[in-house]
Structures are given as C-alpha cells and as structure tokens.
Amino acid sequence: MKSIVILISGRGSNMEVLLDAVLPGRIAAVISNRPGSPGLALAASRGVATSVVDHKAYPDRAAFDAALAEEIERHGPDLVVLAGFMRVLGDDFVRRFEGRMMNIHPSLLPAFPGLDTHGRALSAGVKLHGCTVHFVTPTLDNGPIIIQAGVPVFPSDDTPRLAARVLEQEHRIYPQAVRWFLEGRLSLTAAGTVRLEGDREEGASLCVPALDPAP
C-alpha cells in the first residue's frame, strides 16, 4: 500500500480532510516545522505518527531542509503533501521529491502566486477565483497543475468571505488529487503538464457572471 507524509505549520484543515478521506493508501506521518501546531494533536488523536522539525533550531534553510528531508525519508513515503506548510523549500529539497510532492494554493494559478491571494483577486476585480493543486517545483507556485476549482466573486465579497468559499473547494479537490496519485492515474506530458488517465472532455463552459437568457 502506498503511503503519504503530510507537512503542516498550523491547524492543518486540509490535513484533517485527508485524514477523513477514504484513500487507497495510508498516512504514515504528519510533520510540522512548529512545535505548537494544533494539527499535530489532531493527527496523534487519529493514531498517526507525528514529529517536529523546528526550523528555528537550524542555522539556515539548507540545514533545515536536510533535516526535514531525513525525517520524511524515515517513513519512506510515495507522496509528500504540503497542507498549510508555511516554509519556502530550497531547490535541492524540491528536486529530491519532485514528481511526488503536492501543494494546494488558494488561487487559480498562474494567477496570484504568493501571499494575499484573496485580497489581490478582489483588488483586480476578477469574476472567478479559486484554488489549485499542483506538483511542487523549485519555482514558487509554478508547478504542473493537477486540478483546479473555481468560485464566483460577488460584489458583496470581502477577503474573509471569499477565503472561506475557496477553502470549501480546497477541501474537495485536495483529496481527489491525492487519490488520483495513489491510483497511478497522473502522469507528466513532454510539455510538463499533468495528464489524468481516464479524463473526459465534454466541452462544458462556464461564464461568471452568468449570461442573460437568449431573447
């Protein structure tokens, strides 16, 4: 059975969704870079092994990355899942796990990489916002896209309201992406994009705001 290691920094709401999901694999461990992460207690209560690799205990990013990689490898995972892991990982670390490390980002990449995605989406006046699961590469928030989900942006939205609606979609698509990986249905094309085995092309379209009815 394939196994997963989840990396968190805080409460880990996406981690919790993965713990609750019925996946064709097992969650071998949850690792945090912060000793007080609430998600650690939650994972431990579910019988999942937990550990801390405190970034403050290391003199630089390279030393932290090396210690984190060693702790991950101790569990021999097939997939590493970032679930609210708030550290930028170095190129050597990312290449070590490239093709088997996923992240979820709260925007429709390549739009709004980095932080404050919901505020920036509102400032830009976009009509459709959302979230993206992607493979991690050395370029921040720029890896091959696995799955995306969109939400309409309403005139009454503020940042918390929009963020909550996007988070609901994160909780839907992250377990799906992990499931596809564990089932062996994801592959990279020569162009560096993700191909899903069995994907259906049905020609659907989406307009936000909705089009007026035909006269």
Instruction: Tell me which residues are annotated as active site.
Output: 105
What single letter denotes the amino acid at residue 134?
H
C-alpha to C-alpha distance for 89 and 9, rounded to whole angstroms? 13
Instruction: Please choose, from the candidates 145, 133, 202, the residue with its C-alpha nearest in 3D space to the C-alpha of residue 169.
Output: 133
Strands 3-8 and 79-82: parallel
Query: For the chain, how far is it from start to end, CA to CA, in angstroms?
Result: 56
Q: What is the DSSP letter of 213?
A: P
- Map 131-154 to HEC letters: EEEEECCCCCCCCCEEEEEEEECC
Which residues have C-beta within 8 Å of that of residue 15, sequence separation ≥ 6?
Answer: 6, 8, 30, 39, 42, 43, 81, 83, 84
Q: What is the DSSP letter of 215?
A: -
Q: Which two tokens stand for residue 27?
A: 């969650």
C-alpha to C-alpha distance for 144 and 100, rounded to whole angstroms? 12
C-alpha to C-alpha distance for 133 and 100, rounded to whole angstroms? 13
